[in-house]
Amino acid sequence: MSRILLVYTGGTIGMIKNPETGALTAFNFDELLSNIPELKLLEHDISTVSFDEPVDSSDMDTTDYVKLANLIEEHFEDYDGFVVLHGSDTMSYTASAISFMFENLKKPIIFTGSQLPIGDLRTDAKENLITSIQLAGLKEQGKTVIKEVGLYFEYKLYRANRTTKVNAEHFEAFESANFPPIAESGVNLKINYEKLMKPNMRKKMVVHKSLNDNILILKLFPGINQQTLKHIFDTPHIEGVILETFGSGNAKTDDWFTEALKILIDRGVHVVNVTQCVGGAVLMGKYATSERLKKLGVISGGDITTEAAVGKMMYLLNKNLGPKVFKTIFETSLRGEMN
């Protein structure tokens, strides 16, 4: 038997439909077991805790990330695993940030949610919730199997910082294009043992709660002009820019574009190159259109997702790292977020 803590932050999964009015209202998670009797069949001791005020995932920010991290840390020694119920729209952003905040994590923190409310007749919430609890409580020979931040949706458990929400309509809402699922749910739970994170069991877990959100994401597009770019880059408080480039990391070769990037980098702003593509990786220098970026000192994001790049940058910006050290660390996989 494992002790599991369900943490409800907000989102569709925590809604039930009023049968008379059809309106969605927040679910009382203190009454979870009575409303979802299937949970009584699980061989786990399940407790629940909620944010004082549920937060729509579109409103989530760094203060909510810290609040969630504090809540998990506060109960960490009392439970074997954690399931975080979260709105799906920004779940990959939150889960990625949490993965960087928990260094040397030795217990599962599994994010899940749903496309339909838990009280809906065709809801995907029950399966997502039940299997997430099973995975969070999974032990073999008395030892926890999963020791990382995961995201479970529609029969697949992904490494959270490898995911992107790709569909607002289908139950298969998430994708992990550059990394296989670490577990799949069918007739049996199939664990991809080779791909699981293996923390150093002799080192203590460290929770990092200092995040810096002075970040800008700039998605390049054909026709972006000098005046617009200059206006964006002149923003005084920006400390990090995530540049979503074409294909394998390609961008404009116009002198004004590279000069704008040079001024930005000389100002001490860290610039990371990630691909706009759902799958694949940045390979700076493969084409002439990315060779200039490489020479300027732009950081290669490799196959990192934009969501993970945001979380990683928030985590690193307050570490007071020099440009070369920051670049070296960012280009190194810290939580399995990149190959």
Q: What is the largest CA-CA distance in the chain?
A: 65
Beta bridge partners of 50: 8
CA distance 61 to 310: 12
Rounded to an integer, what distance in angstroms lies between the CA atom of residue 4 and that of residue 285?
Answer: 47
Please provide the DSSP assignment of 69-85 as one string. Answer: HHHHHHTGGG-SEEEEE
Helices (H), the chain: 32-35, 62-74, 91-101, 125-136, 226-233, 255-266, 288-296, 306-317, 323-330
Tokens coding 127: 């399966």
**In this structure, which amino acid lies at residue 276?**
Q
Q: Number of C-alpha atoms within 13 angstroms, CB side, residue 26?
A: 17
Q: Which residues are catalytic?
A: 12
**DSSP structure class, residue 40:** G
314: left (phi over 0), alpha (psi -120 to 50) or beta: alpha
Please state, in angstroms and as integers, the Cα–Cα distance from residue 186 to each residue in 154, 190, 303, following that order: 10, 8, 29
Q: Which residues contact 225 (CB under 8 A, 6 or more apart)?
A: none
Separation between Cα atoms, residue 162 and residue 183, nearest integer Å: 14
Q: Which residues contact 79 (CB under 8 A, 6 or more apart)?
A: 3, 4, 5, 47, 107
Beta bridge partners of 156: 153, 184
Residue 93 CA: distances (Å) to CA of 41, 237, 288, 295, 313: 32, 22, 32, 30, 12
